[in-house]
Chain A
Amino acid sequence: MKRVVITGAGTINALAHDVKGTFEAFREGRSGITDLVIRDRDRLGIQIGGQVHDWDPETRFNRQQIALYDKFTQFTLLAAREAVAQSGLNFDGRLGYEAGVVLGTAAGGVNTWDENYRTVYEEGKNRVHPFVVPKLMNNAAASHLSVEFNLKGPAFTVATACASSNHAMGQAFHMIRSGMTQVMLTGGSESMLCFGGIKAWEGLRVMSRDACRPFSLNRNGMVQGEGAAVFVFEEYEHARQRGAEILAEVSGFAMTSDASDIVMPNKQGAARAISGALRDARLNGEEVGYINAHGTGTAANDKTECAAVADVFGHHADSLMISSTKSMHGHLIGGTGAVELLACIMALRDGVIAPTIGYEEPDPECALDVVPNTARDAKVDVVLSNAFAFGGLNAVLALRKV
């Protein structure tokens, strides 16, 4: 089996339009959650989100491109450009045939659906722009990355709700590990902060009106975010021979299905995914120093997740750190695992653990070290990233320092 390392990272999210700025926000424990700036906000019950501000696509893309790129594709391209630039790779020659892209998104071009439904239902028009379908399709971002970087191997999109990015990165990991490809661009993107996207979530009544406070006793729900993160996964020897800077090694991955409820989380399913990732990476639980939690800030997720961690790690659960950066960037739904992998890389590379901000009251059902409110300096060699999706689909990645 080949080893897999990360040699590039890029992002745009509510905290910053790049990795450097996102790390700064993580270190400062800064929230990117604000009042939403969207059409018909006054008709929404939920009026906050982790929105990407100061975003002007016209400075990044030309008119023809904007006609084809939904916001989730724009975010993906921007993140991928940063990641590829950092890796120093060029796919124009032979490498293009040995490279691919797997991305996660829960819902793809939601803004495009929303705008065009308005056109035909609200405005009563009988004609839409010719590129509505290629713009909204879930694989649009993967295809545009393939086009922009000449990635001619496997390319597809994974949709497993809030675990989409972790499932996508797990697939990319497997492909390189098995020798199928040398390099994969992977990660995920989501852009659901439009009237219809938020209205749909309001219906479930699990959204907070004021803040995302994971693990805090007074938490009252999740806050949606938007954005993307993309990584360059590369076969270890390939990276080493060209002298690439290695950010971290992806050492294990596991996925499970609860096979129980369509929305309620399940401790056994989560625990099996966590212990499966440890087994796949040939790690002992005691080696894990940090877990980036799914930590949505809902009553149900946070207590189930803490119970699953306690089950898997036993006494060591009290020694490891577990934080939810959703408190800062919001829940990016299908893109969330990708942005959260940045906190894992920061922990391994910089020895800084991103905090869970908004933490106000201890919850006896979440009695772990959740790194409340302030980032912490700590040397960790092994980290996990959890994602537990609606539909009962769980995906956990294990990373280690190289």
Chain B
Amino acid sequence: MDAVQDRVIRIIAEQALLDPADVTPQSTLEELGIDSLGLVESIFAIEEAFDISIPFNANDPSASNFDISSVGSITAAIEDLVAQKTA
């Protein structure tokens, strides 16, 4: 579980030009300075890293069933998707 979180944090930290130590599960993308383009790029990087497909539409992030409210919620959603893949 922590492995997924560490990898997500590394990806998001790289996008935000921050040290991974400065990104916590409680961090929101807004706090980290990630805009809509940065979010789309982060999602692409996460999909590539975990070989999953994330149902995210930039027109309506809330309708995508992929909770982007914090790094922790993103991690949880990715853990679900990774679990579905191996199931």
Give the B-binding residues of A (Cβ under 8 A). 203-206, 208, 219-221, 262-264, 298-300
Task: Flag if B63 contacts A220 (CB, 8 Å).
Answer: yes
B residues within 8 A CB of A264?
A: 36-37
Task: Flag if A299 contacts B59 (CB, 8 Å).
Answer: yes
Task: Flag if A221 contacts B59 (CB, 8 Å).
Answer: yes
Task: Flag if B44 contacts A203 (CB, 8 Å).
Answer: yes
Task: Flag if B37 contacts A263 (CB, 8 Å).
Answer: yes
Give the A-binding residues of B (Cβ under 8 A). 36-37, 40, 43-44, 56-60, 63
B residues within 8 A CB of A221?
A: 57-59
Task: Flag if A220 contacts B57 (CB, 8 Å).
Answer: yes
In the docked arrangement, what's the CA distance between A300 and B56, Å? 16
Q: Closest CB-CB distance, A265 to chain B, in whole Å?
A: 12
Q: Closest CB-CB distance, B44 to chain A, in whole Å?
A: 7
A residues within 8 A CB of B36?
A: 264, 300
Task: Flag if B44 contacts A206 (CB, 8 Å).
Answer: no
A sample of 17 more A-B contacts (CB under 8 A), given A205-B57, A262-B37, is A203-B40, A203-B44, A204-B58, A205-B56, A206-B57, A206-B59, A220-B57, A220-B59, A220-B60, A221-B57, A221-B58, A263-B37, A264-B36, A264-B37, A298-B59, A299-B58, A299-B59
In the docked arrangement, what's the CA distance between A21 and B56, Å? 37
| Closest A residue to B37 using CB positions | A263
B residues within 8 A CB of A220?
A: 57, 59-60, 63
Between A and B, 24 residue pairs with Cβ closer than 8 Å are A203-B40, A204-B40, A204-B58, A205-B40, A205-B43, A205-B56, A205-B57, A205-B58, A206-B57, A206-B58, A208-B59, A219-B59, A220-B57, A220-B60, A220-B63, A221-B57, A221-B58, A221-B59, A262-B37, A298-B59, A299-B58, A299-B59, A300-B36, A300-B59
Task: Flag if A299 contacts B60 (CB, 8 Å).
Answer: yes
Q: Closest CB-CB distance, B14 to chain A, in whole Å?
A: 18
Q: Closest CB-CB distance, B54 to chain A, in whole Å?
A: 9
A residues within 8 A CB of B56?
A: 205
In the docked arrangement, what's the CA distance between A203 and B56, Å? 11
In the docked arrangement, what's the CA distance between A220 and B64, Å? 11
In the docked arrangement, what's the CA distance between A264 and B63, Å? 20
A residues within 8 A CB of B57?
A: 205-206, 220-221
In the docked arrangement, what's the CA distance between A262 and B36, Å? 12
B residues within 8 A CB of A203?
A: 40, 44
Q: Closest CB-CB distance, B15 to chain A, in whole Å?
A: 15
In the docked arrangement, what's the CA distance between A9 and B40, Å? 40
In the docked arrangement, what's the CA distance between A299 and B61, Å? 10
